Amino acid sequence: MVTELVFATNNKHKLKEVQHIISDKVILLSLADINCYDNIPETADTLEGNALLKARYIKQRYGYNCFADDTGLEVEALNQAPGVYSARYAGEGNDALANMNKLLRQMQGKENRKARFRTAIALIIDDKEYLFEGIINGSVITEKRGEAGFGYDPVFIPDGYIQTFAQMGSELKNQISHRALAVKELATFLSTNPHK
Ligand code: IMP
């Protein structure tokens, strides 16, 4: 049974959100907890590739069993862009406002507004690698709505809802989101596959 896993993140909110979903028999450690302050490369051209790069980096250099995630917004009318480049769509610096404004510009006049958030998680236990995925379908609206959340939340409405992720608040979002779905897959795997 795995009792300790590194989650390759320094985002305390993410760590808490994920620990909430994963059984507390598994203690999650952040990168700071293992004294890792490296700039871990995310140079792959797929979400799965980046998640694997991050997880392998930690496993190889720090020796911990570990998982890492990568998320992107995939817009049908833009051939799945911004996808793996979501954080830097409008340039380096992860400027959420600039990214959203660019997205709204690219979507001007497009009738097909279908989009999805997709999260890939790569898990490494001993020498085995596993991938998990979470997807939420929805659409990109034509203007920003709502203040909560981060990233593209103000311009994304999940299917079956009338509010954007930024309007619905974190409690509901964290129950239905791409990340929550991927983490639930991971949690199910951890609880049903006994590891030594
Ligand atoms: P990360 O892999 O979680 O760091 O996400 C990469 C980028 O995708 C972020 O910088 C955001 O632009 C976008 N993103 C990821 N998750 C969300 C979300 O839940 N809502 C809105 N945007 C997100």
**pLDDT of the chain, 196 residues: tens digit per residue:** 678 999 999 888 889 889 988 878 899 999 999 999 999 999 999 999 999 999 999 999 999 999 999 999 999 999 999 999 999 999 998 899 999 999 999 999 999 999 999 999 999 999 899 999 999 999 999 999 999 989 999 999 999 999 999 999 888 998 999 999 999 999 999 988 766 4
Cis, peptide link before residue 82, omega less than 30° from 0: yes
On whether the CB atoms of residues 55 and 124 are closer than 8 A, the answer is yes
CA of 105 to the centre of ligand 1 (A): 19
CA of 1 to the centre of ligand 1 (A): 31
**CA-closest residue to ligand 1 atom 17:** 151
Q: How far is CA 187 from the centre of its chain?
A: 15
**Residues with active-site annotation:** 70
Q: Ligand 1 pocket test: which of 11, 67, 86, 175 has the largest number of ligand atoms within 8 Å of its C-beta? A: 86
CA of 72 to the centre of ligand 1 (A): 6
State the pTM of this model.
Answer: 0.95
